A and B are shown apart, each in its own frame.
Chain A
Amino acid sequence: MATLNTTNIKHASSSSNNIVLASNGSVTIPTLTATSLTTNTNFGKILQVVSATKTDTASNSTASSSWWSYTDSSLKATITPTSASNKILITGVISIGVDSQQYMMVRLEKNGSRLNAANGDQDGNKSRIFSGVWYSPESTPNTPYPNFIVQYLDTAGDTNSRYYNFGIAHTSGLSRTIYLNRGVSATNAFATMTCASTITAMEVAA
């Protein structure tokens, strides 16, 4: 291996030194472009973050034993992984109302379909969900409730664009109206609130 003794490297047309070599091994380069960098320094693992926040309201007449897959762009996180082996951390909060006392269920979906690994295991005809809660509002509830939080670490699997969204359902034997970001009450009053729901996806380097 040949040794070049110098302290500065300058491009022929540059007015100043481009690379400065210090005696202690430090190299100063204004802009370093490379395809890989191996170092003892830990770099961060979050490569990108995408988020959608829905601030308006929505409603849907949802039949018994059916899911309302909410795939509107206002509340889905669309992300394109840079590597199939990377992970995708999904986290979100959703505010829900319903027109009667029901068990309410939320599941995490990928491209509008249930993401099996993020929801309960298959067990006969039971609903596979992320979480559920008994909704026992007053007769005309002002408050969107319950408030679900969803978190899951998915494996990218490929580098295709995909979106993550919520699926919502009730356990009534009848059709029920489900609300997003509002309660049942339409009273135009301070105590009747509108809320926001959000979903975020972060690509995590493998």
Chain B
Amino acid sequence: MPVTINGTSGLVTATTFSGSSLSGIDTGKILQVVQAVKTDTASASVGGNTDWVSHGLSVSITPSSSSNKIFITGQVSVNADLNEGFSLAIQKNGSALTGATGDAAGNRKRQTASTEVDYNFTTATIPFQYLDTAGGTSAITYRPALNISNTDAYTIYLNRTANTSDSYSIVRTISTISAMEIAA
């Protein structure tokens, strides 16, 4: 018997239901989760107010509805050959995600998060999170754009220290970025 209807309890039993919408029941809001994990190292000479984006850490997601939200969360593990301020902005398809950065204030750089690199023998971790609006149903790529607070060029590192000693006390780390689509 493929379908049964209990007239007393109202229970309808079937092997499958299909349709375009379902109401009255909470079915969960997280529709998909994608993640990128970078476990190798990368480095680049960066300065002069230039962002480093070719480090290889990014995540792409294709929303199912433009009104849905995208929750972005991640962390980067960084170091530099100069003790200096270090920051990042979340980029969406190659442009800074303005709502995820500090408000405009003169010539100051608008960033999502920052830290200070004080030592060359350990990495600093910068976490970041933001709830974005999808805005479309085309694939979106999110990535952190990394920056050192110096107008001169210095080498900055991802997942490794500037110190090159082959020693137990020198670390190798990972960086991650995840995106979750959340139903509106």
Which of A28, A29, A36, A196 has a CB less than 8 Å from the CB of B102? A196
By beta carbon, the residue of chain A nearest B22 is A32
* 6 pairs of A and B residues whose beta carbons are closest in the complex: A44-B28, A194-B102, A25-B15, A143-B85, A25-B2, A51-B131
Q: Give, as a whole number of angstroms, the nearest-CB distance from B149 to chain A.
A: 4
- Among B112-120, B153-161, B164-172, the stretch that binds chain A is B112-120
Cβ-defined contact, B102 with A25, below 8 A: no
Cβ-defined contact, A57 with B102, below 8 A: yes
Pairs across A and B, CB under 8 Å, 15 listed: A25-B3, A25-B16, A26-B17, A27-B18, A29-B17, A30-B19, A34-B25, A49-B131, A55-B101, A145-B115, A189-B107, A193-B110, A194-B110, A195-B101, A205-B26
- Among A91-99, A110-118, A119-127, A162-170, the stretch that binds chain B is A91-99
B residues touching A (Cβ–Cβ < 8 Å)? 1-4, 12, 14-31, 49, 69, 71, 73, 75, 85-87, 99-116, 118, 126-131, 149-151, 182
Chain B residues near A35: list those with CB within 8 A: 24-25
Does A37 touch B at the CB level, under 8 Å?
A: yes
Complexed CA–CA distance, A55 and B113 (Å): 11
A residues touching B (Cβ–Cβ < 8 Å)? 1, 3, 21-37, 43-49, 51, 53, 55-57, 82, 91-93, 95, 136-137, 141-147, 149, 181-183, 188-196, 198, 200, 205
Cβ-defined contact, B22 with A24, below 8 A: no
CB-CB under 8 A for A33 and B114, given A27-B16, A149-B127, A193-B108:
no
CB-CB under 8 A for A49 and B108, given A191-B150, A193-B87:
no
Cβ-defined contact, B149 with A142, below 8 A: yes
CB-CB under 8 A for A188 and B106, given A95-B114, A198-B130:
yes
CB-CB under 8 A for A32 and B16, given A45-B28, A198-B130:
no
Main secondary structure of the interface of A (DSSP, over half): loop
Cβ-defined contact, A29 with B19, below 8 A: yes
Cβ-defined contact, A31 with B22, below 8 A: yes
Cβ-defined contact, A53 with B111, below 8 A: no
Cβ-defined contact, B100 with A31, below 8 A: no
Complexed CA–CA distance, A43 and B24 (Å): 14
Complexed CA–CA distance, A93 and B126 (Å): 9
Chain A residues near B112: list those with CB within 8 A: 195-196
Chain A residues near B20: list those with CB within 8 A: 30-31
Chain A residues near B115: list those with CB within 8 A: 143, 145-147
By beta carbon, the residue of chain A nearest B2 is A25
Cβ-defined contact, B182 with A145, below 8 A: no
Q: Give, as a whole number of angstroms, the nearest-CB distance from B49 to chain A.
A: 5
Complexed CA–CA distance, A188 and B16 (Å): 63
Which of A28, A82, A136 has a CB less than 8 Å from the CB of B18? A28
Chain B residues near A49: list those with CB within 8 A: 29, 69, 71, 131, 182
Which of B71, B100, B110, B113 has a CB less than 8 Å from the CB of A95? B113
Complexed CA–CA distance, A192 and B103 (Å): 13
Which of B14, B73, B75, B128 has a CB less than 8 Å from the CB of A27? B14
Cβ-defined contact, B29 with A55, below 8 A: no
Q: Give, as a whole number of angstroms, the nearest-CB distance from B46 to chain A.
A: 13
